Amino acid sequence: MLGNFTYCNPTKVYFGKDALSGLDEELPKYGKNVLLVYGGGSIKRNGIYDAVLEKLKKHGKVVTEDAKVMPNPTSEKLKEGCARARAAQADLILAVGGGSVIDYAKGVSVSAYCKEDPWTKYYLQMQDPSDGIIPVGAVLTMVGTGSEMNGGSVITNHEQKLKIGHVFGEEVFPKFAILNPEYTYTLPKYQMVAGFYDIMCHIHEQYFSGTDDNTSDYVMEGLMRSLIHSSKIAIDDPKNYEARSNIMWTATWALNTFVAMGKSTDWEVHMIGQAVGAYTDATHGMTLSAVTLAYFRHILPYGMQKFVRYAVNVWGVGAEGKTDEQVALEGLAALEAWMRSLSLVMDLKTLGVTQEMLPGIVEATFIMQGGYKVLTKEDVMEILQESMESKE
């Protein structure tokens, strides 16, 4: 039975090969000052930067650039961006990049005029914005996070060894998102497959919760099957437009809040993965892949029927003549085979985690309440140790 909920997603999406033309409709809605946020410069090499700048100039915008946003944006970088936004008197923040760039842009949007310390207020205390919010628009160049159509903003504080995500309300969602699958073609394979797994993990985190007959679960099973199918094509042919467009759209729907409606949701894999990221700065999707199977084996007895359903409906495992545990484990084996076919990281050692780091990672892991088992700190340590002992 679906629980009570209110659903709203205010982000307007422009999708396809001509999606950038959406800027012609959106830019006139905002004042003249634009803070252009991007990462390491790949958008200059592949031509996206020039195409976006041409649109901004066409509409008479005064552009201030905020470049070099790192894959795991930091609280120090956030302070720098806030200063740039204020100095520019930004009317719009235009984020051109993947999830980290868009997450960072949303962080700047709520923090630039925050009268308190933004890290403390938003990421430690999880308070709502109470000061001015600068609107954000997104031009997506890497799929995975769904940040283009949600209120999430993940920031890393190296000094405190914490990586924390705040899910802001609809007032912080990007006002518009430009989604051209061709903009993802030049992404290195490592980043591409990490994004693929981030998508799958987002769906897992919402799917593996609850025991009711929920419409969202049927939708998520379809999204997972689509991702599995298209990822196999994209690995062999990264410029296959149909596959890359399906993956891009699946990524957006995996975390635009829609399939979470009526669900308690889990998110413990993300909490562990983010704690690992705080210590290693490893690629987000790979921190998730490194701990997923250990986590699933740990909680499988508590959510057995959903794992059986997952095996049958997502991976096509035959159930006849088998115990529930056999079917569920076959599903996890199929998941592992797919993960290995993508060359994902399957253990924490590969990410640079050492035994000495483990106690700190445990302490940095937030314990969530919505999954099939509420972990203890001892459980988290067991999961980390199992991943440390896994073999690539």
**Cα 267 vs. chain centroid, distance in angstroms?**
11
Q: What whole-number distance in Å separates Cα of residue 270 and Cα of residue 275?
A: 8
| Contact present, 342 and 197 (Cβ < 8 Å) | yes
Confidence of residue 41 (pLDDT cuts 50, 70, 90): confident
Q: Look at residues 131, 91, 130, 123 and name the one whose alpha carbon lies nearest to residue 107.
A: 123
Total Cβ atoms within 10 A of residue 392: 10
pTM reported for the whole predicted model: 0.96
Q: What whole-number distance in Å separates Cα of residue 270 and Cα of residue 361?
A: 13
pLDDT at 371 over 70: yes
DSSP 207-273: HSS--S--HHHHHHHHHHHHHHHHHHHHHH-TT-HHHHHHHHHHHHHHTSSSTTTT-----HHHHHH
Report the pLDDT averaged over residues 221-227. Answer: 98
For the segment 231-278, what is each residue's pLDDT rounded down to a tens digit?
999 999 999 999 999 999 999 999 999 999 989 999 999 999 999 999
Q: What's the DSSP call for residue 150?
A: S
Task: Classify domain 12-183 by CATH architecture.
Answer: 3-Layer(aba) Sandwich (3.40)
Domain boundaries, the chain: 12-183, 189-389
Q: Look at residues 56, 15, 42, 343 and name the one whose alpha carbon lies nearest to residue 182.
A: 15
Does CATH number 3.20.20.140 belong to domain 189-389? no
For the segment 84-113, what is each residue's pLDDT rounded down to a tens digit?
999 999 999 999 999 999 999 999 999 999
